[in-house]
Structure 1
Amino acid sequence: MRTTQPSAQPPVRPSTAVKQTGLPLSALLALATAVFITALTETLPAGVLPAMSTDLGVSESAMGQSVTIYAIGTAVTALPLTAATAGWRRKRLLLTAMAGFAAANTVTALSSGYPLTMAARFVAGVAAGLAWALLAGYARRLAPAPLQGKAIAIAMTGAPVALSLGVPAGTFLGTALGWWVAFLLMTVLAVGVIGWIAATVPDHPGHPGQGRAERAPALRALAVPGVVPVLFVTFVFVLAHTVLYTYIAPYLDRAGLGDATGLVLLVFGVASLAGIWFTGVRIHRRLRTLTLASGLLVAGAAAVLAVPVDGPAPVYVAAVLWGLGWGGIPTLLQTAVGDAGGEQADAAQAMLVTLWNAAMAGGGVAGGFLLDRFGAGSFPWTVLALLLPVLAVVTAARVHGFPARRRTG
């Protein structure tokens, strides 16, 4: 979204939440910065793809697999690492994940070979598997029950900020100074947030004994009404988004706007900020409506991009629609699967994390195939085709999954 990704952390009963009436903003902003690092590490190659491919001597479609290998690292390790570290104290685990990002981004910045870069990206994905299993749930535990949704929304702002400011800034640095500078700065930021988390974020115990029982609840969660529709929507929606986002630079080159990649991503990211803010305000009562609106907005953006552009204006309009639709999706889907899962919410969210990253990996592979076989013009049509079943499932799941009236409290 990570392109933000949701958390596998279980929801918390009001009795275990902190006893306060407000939000611990410093701690939540530290978590938001951790989300920023996770999301920017994931998506930064999209802004510097041509420069990375040139320096490492591979094609753009091959370089796009740096997003795929990151997602694979997360997808294959999220569930087993969550189980293996279930007994760890949460703060220790989060600090370990941030240290993993610092190491992986350093190696990426200094690497001069494609295999080493891909290995570092895989390690970064493993660190993300740890981080995404914690972050939103951690934010939820820091807030009193009535404010838990807002706490998650604050923490998740790190993702659209990464898209709105981080990727455009990385694109600019990649052009001016070299793509590796952006990754090196990510290391500096990761070291800084390690200190911030250590100083301001309260610690919480782990869940000893939960790890061994992880697989059975994950399977039982599939039988809970509403979980499967949310997981389907998650996989297909993220797949559609990733196909276009990962290869946005080649698409803009085709449209004669290759020099405007950073600005287009900036517009997309700012619109994402607006989307996540609006979602945070309305999600308590309007989850179903917001999910449908998100799908329609992204589909509208794809429809605009599918038509041959005459000047830059349609591209920027599409970027606004895309950002508004995508910004709130991580919070919406994470909340939907938590509501649907009930007592199996922790397992359902762990599965959502895995499917999210599987979709990212699939989007990177599918986008590379489409680019080589059909050209960048095929991306918007692919997004449209994928979003049609998403909208159909959200519409149909009005009793369980995306109910017309959300159960709260």
Structure 2
Amino acid sequence: MGSAVPLLKAVGADRSAPSQWVAVGVLTLSTFLVVTSEMLPVGLLTPLADGLGISSGAAGASLTVTGLVSAVTALIVPRLLGDLDRRVVLAVAMGVLAVGNGLTVIAGGFGTLVVARIVLGVGMGAVWGMASAVATRLVAPRDTALAVSFAVSGVASASVLGVPAGTLVGNAVGWRAAFGALTALALILAAGLLLALPRLRRPAGATGDAAVGQRRSLARPAVITGLTVVVLLVTAHFAAYTYVRPVLESQAGLSANAIALLLLLYGAFGLAGNFIAGAAAGRRPRVTVLLLAAGIAVAVAVLALFGARALAAGLAIALWGVAYGGVSVAAQLWMTAAAPDRVEHITGLYVGVFTASIALGAFAGGLAVEGAGVVPLLWSTAGLAVAALLAGLVGPAPARARTATTARAEGF
């Protein structure tokens, strides 16, 4: 197969062929699987810990290991790619993910589990770090924002569908079988990526790092502003969302089943928010991100003020889902618009900062809950979301015109 550009010309520059959407679909399933692999220990924490003879806290710490390794990998991989075929790199990364899940299956203690999660983090960081940049090259220019929305939707749907499904498998036939299933699926998707994606070498117009001058530096005002917003917003979200169950239990007095339904509601609204925000951010990335920041701030504040009322808590959770569900894709499109000439590098940087902020938020939330309680935690995270909103308002915006069409048309 040829490069992505000839593939587009074969069907016309104004529309995407069905085969191109199949490629986007396989890429979306890949992001779905890597995040499901990362988060599945949440649903199987107790049996996994019991099976390995370790504490739940030690088992939970394995998620932090994966997140940190993923953050570093996402930063490094784009700088090492050169002219390698991105299709092959993604397939190899899925193979690495399969190895990580396979090591989890045979783990006999904490040491092996940590090694497994490190390997898994490498595969996850490579796939997630490249997915959005590759998605923009698989479709016609007018479909770029939608393709990115699909690729990122795999991340959101993993929490809604992947983790619950994996938990059901684990409960039925054992946690090792659940990770064994993920191993097999990763290998299938590795083959699917090789078959469905075209050959994708270095993006047209991109150059090696040694040739990158000041003009091409990523230290651009719009990039710095966007990353600042991401750090504040993602840290705020995960500081609060990590402890959403105790918040709903202590504030609204909800049962475990009611909380499960609310979290399902959150996930469904999150998927909707992903596509709504993707369509809006394709034209106005900064406005979209700032509206999402405002939505998160309002939702968390409503929980703090009126969380004792079940209806208010439900409405807040729904708003929170829509708002945060759109953050990944909208912020990604902000980054792409801010550095359209270095899409792979800016995507890797963005994913690295994003995943590091997840770890920071979970850690900070734990400190806040232990030191002050759930209500002060909610107010603190609402304040961080407002700070993200203000940072985005004060800082420079990315160029609108290049967000969804111009940069893709130029081959980036």
> Given the two structures, how large is their TM-score scaled by the length of structure 1?
0.84
Alignment of 1:149-228 (within 5 A): 149-206=145-202, 212-213=209-210, 220-222=217-219, 224-228=220-224
Q: Structure 2 stretches of 5 or more lacking a match? A: 407-412
Alignment-mate amino acid for residue 159 of structure 1: V
Q: 1:231 aligns with which of 227, 230, 248?
A: 227
Does the 8 Å CA contact 2:337/2:399 hold for their aligned counterparts? no
Mark the CA change 1:166 to 1:199 in structure 2 (over 3 Å): closer, same or farther. same
Whole-Å separation in 2 of the counterparts to 1:376 and 1:220: 42
Pairing 1:400–2:397 present: yes
2:357 is matched with 359
| The 10-residue stretch of structure 1 (213-222 or 148-157) with the greater mean CA deviation from structure 2 | 213-222
Pairing 1:286–2:276 present: no
Alignment-mate amino acid for residue 65 of structure 1: A
Cα deviation digits, residues 357-402 of structure 1 (max 9, x gap)? 22122123323434444455554333212212101112223x4248
Whole-Å separation in 2 of the counterparts to 1:143 and 1:247: 39
Whole-Å separation in 2 of the counterparts to 1:295 and 1:83: 31
Alignment-mate amino acid for residue 261 of structure 2: L
Whole-Å separation in 2 of the counterparts to 1:311 and 1:54: 37
2:77 is matched with 81
Q: 1:91 aligns with which of 87, 94, 117?
A: 87
* CA positional deviation for 1:278: 1.2
2:346 is matched with 348
* CA positional deviation for 1:136: 1.1
Alignment-mate amino acid for residue 303 of structure 1: A
* CA positional deviation for 1:294: 1.1
* CA positional deviation for 1:247: 4.2
Whole-Å separation in 1 of the counterparts to 2:105 and 2:33: 15
Whole-Å separation in 2 of the counterparts to 1:219 and 1:57: 51
Does the 8 Å CA contact 1:218/1:351 hold for their aligned counterparts? no
Q: 1:323 aligns with which of 297, 321, 324?
A: 321
Q: Aligned to 1:343, what secondary structure does the other structure show?
A: coil
Whole-Å separation in 2 of the counterparts to 1:404 and 1:390: 24
Alignment of 1:238-387 (within 5 A): 238-251=234-247, 254=250, 255-260=253-258, 262-307=260-305, 309-310=307-308, 312-375=310-373, 379-387=377-385
* CA positional deviation for 1:332: 0.9
Q: Aligned to 2:82, what secondary structure does the other structure show?
A: coil
2:97 is matched with 101
| The 10-residue stretch of structure 1 (303-312 or 235-244) with the greater mean CA deviation from structure 2 | 303-312
Cα deviation digits, residues 163-204 of structure 1 (max 9, x gap)? 221123334445555444433332232122123222222121
* CA positional deviation for 1:58: 5.2
> Given the two structures, how large is their TM-score scaled by the length of structure 2?
0.83
Identity %: 29
Bigger Rg, structure 1 or 2: 2
Q: Structure 1 stretches of 5 or more lacking a match? A: 1-13
| The 10-residue stretch of structure 1 (78-87 or 291-300) with the greater mean CA deviation from structure 2 | 78-87
Q: Kindly report the root-mean-square deviation, in angstroms, between the aligned alpha carbons of the 2 structures.
A: 3.3
Whole-Å separation in 2 of the counterparts to 1:307 and 1:92: 51
Q: 1:135 aligns with which of 110, 128, 131?
A: 131
| The 10-residue stretch of structure 1 (230-239 or 61-70) with the greater mean CA deviation from structure 2 | 61-70
Whole-Å separation in 1 of the counterparts to 2:137 and 2:39: 28
Count of aligned pairs: 395
Q: 1:45 aligns with which of 17, 21, 41?
A: 41
2:409 is matched with none
Mark the CA change 1:283 to 1:248 in structure 2 (over 3 Å): closer, same or farther. same
Q: Aligned to 1:359, what secondary structure does the other structure show?
A: helix
Whole-Å separation in 2 of the counterparts to 1:176 and 1:311: 35
Pairing 1:65–2:61 present: yes
Mark the CA change 1:360 to 1:199 in structure 2 (over 3 Å): closer, same or farther. same
